[in-house]
Amino acid sequence: MTDVSPRCRHCAAPLELSLVDLGVSAVSNSYVPLDRADAPEPKYPLHVRVCTACWLAQVDADVPPAEIFTADYAYFSSFSESWLAHCRAYCAAMTARLGLGPDSFVIEIASNDGYLLRNFVAAGIPVLGIEPSGSVAAAAEAAGVPTLVEFFGAALARRLRAEGRRPDLVCSANVLAHVPDINDFVAGVALLLEGEAIYTVEFPHLLRLIEEVQFDTIYHEHYSYLSLLAVERIFAAHGLRVFDVEELPTHGGSLRVYACLAGASHEEGPGLDRVRAAEKAARLDSPAGYAGFAARVEAVRRGFRDFLERARASGRSVAAYGAAAKGNTLLNYCGVGPDLIPFCVDRNPAKQNTLLPGSRIPVFAVEKLYAERPDFVVILPWNLKAEIVAQLDDLRRAGTRFVTAVPTIAVTA
């Protein structure tokens, strides 16, 4: 009899532990053009399981990357001021830490619209961006960031190595979770490194996802949900050694991992023991660490729908801010459509005048909020709440209240 059970994308062990099943959902960054409003859109299962051999959490059904990271991919990193500030600080810190200069070379994998590398360009440090989505890569080129429009993996790394393009620093932010073949990706990173060169990677921390019920960060674009425990095992399998880690506030709580070749001389930093201990205390190396999460997710759904239905019953108007992928997971899992949230706004022109995938809520420019002046604005990218509330402070002073749904309903007075 053929074994059809899902297998771990790293170690191929059977995936027998379920974290949460969010049902069938549309692809979160596939915004629907208005002229296709009546056309069906593809939907896929969204079920996260945990490998009890290597402890990698992952979706158990893959959407082909070409259906997600398309030529007209709508996510542009440069629309968040707080994220741009975070990246400026990173570039300054790495330039100082590694002594980068005109003779150095930096590669960023999944460089998007050049949001990060342009800081190195401004400092006269040679760079190369690697970005599979043509729309955002074009924006990077226009900003003076040389960019290859390709998916990254071992084959591209071998080609760059053959061309003599050996970086001092390889970096990536929020990309490791986005690759279906995580082994090919990490093998490619190892091929790029030489001597004391380092790789830094940032990703939302699985520990924060579980503790703070951040289930809306689960969507098809995220193939994996990462802990330090799993990342160290995957990296070691490809000849990389994690030598430091920082805990970051971004995306609801992230890790920045520093890695090098196994034989490099970088000493271990203090963050390693701290994060290892936190994950051990949370029992991420045991099924017990993942128990009960699905029930807590269901409680968020009940709370969010109850808030929206009470607002509608009392005649209070509700809009949404931020056509974020995480917001689409929330809306689709909770079964929310235009009957409960008539419209959403976003600063990104690529998302305006579209419909949110799955929920089909129309997206407008931010000015729509000022025309409608809703009683409540649900902030879908809750990780940017402070930035968004500050941008819309005039609306707040006029009486609009801001709402987040994760981990529980919270209304800003």
Here the CATH number for the domain that contains residue 109 is: 3.40.50.150
Q: Are residues 139 and 230 in the same domain?
A: yes
Note whether 163 and 118 are same-domain residues.
Answer: yes
Give, for 203, the enclosing helix (H) or strand (E): strand 198-204
CA proximity to 42, closest of 61, 26, 66: 26
* Helix/strand/coil (H/E/C) assignment for every residue in 382-403: HHHHHHHHHHCHHHHHCCCEEE
Q: What is the CATH number of the domain that holds 369?
A: 3.40.50.720
216 falls within a domain: yes
Number of structural domains the chain divides into: 2
> Are residue 364 and residue 298 in the same domain, yes or no?
yes
Strand-by-strand arrangement of the 344-345 sheet: 32-33, 354-355, 362-364, 344-345, 318-321, 376-379, 401-404, 410-412
Domain edge (last residue) among 240, 260, 288: 288
DSSP strands (E only) in 279-383? 318-321, 344-345, 354-355, 362-364, 376-379
Q: Which of 240, 258, 288 is the last residue of a domain?
A: 288
228 vs 65: which has the higher pLDDT? 228
Based on the domain organization, do 237 and 307 belong to the same domain? no
Q: Give the domain extent around 393.
A: 293-412
Tell whether 344 and 357 lie within a shared domain: yes
Considering the domain architecture, whether residues 93 and 203 belong to the same structural domain is answered as yes
Predicted pLDDT of residue 74: 46
Q: Confirm whether 63 is domain-assigned.
A: no
Tell me the per-residue pLDDT of 202-222, one tens digit each, with 9 for 90 and over.
999 999 999 999 999 999 989
Could you tell me if 202 and 139 lie in one domain? Answer: yes
Q: How confident is the model at residue 61 (pLDDT cuts 50, 70, 90)?
A: confident
Same domain (yes/no): 260, 391: no
Q: Both 232 and 308 in a single domain?
A: no
70 CB neighbour count, 10 Å cutoff: 16
Q: Are 204 and 252 in contact (CB under 8 A)?
A: yes
My answer on whether 232 and 359 are in the same domain is no
Token digits of residue 405:
């749904």
- Residue 69 phi/psi, 5-degree rounding, is -90, 70
Overall average pLDDT of the 378-407 stretch = 95
Residue 224 shares a structural domain with residue 246: yes
Q: Averaging pLDDT over each range in 328-332, 346-350, 382-386, which range is the top one?
A: 328-332
Q: Are both 345 and 238 inside the same structural domain?
A: no
What is the residue-averaged pLDDT of the chain? 93
Q: Please identify, among 260, 288, 316, the residue that sits at the C-terminal boundary of a domain.
A: 288
**Would the pLDDT of 64 be above 80?**
no
Q: Span 159-171, mean pLDDT?
A: 97
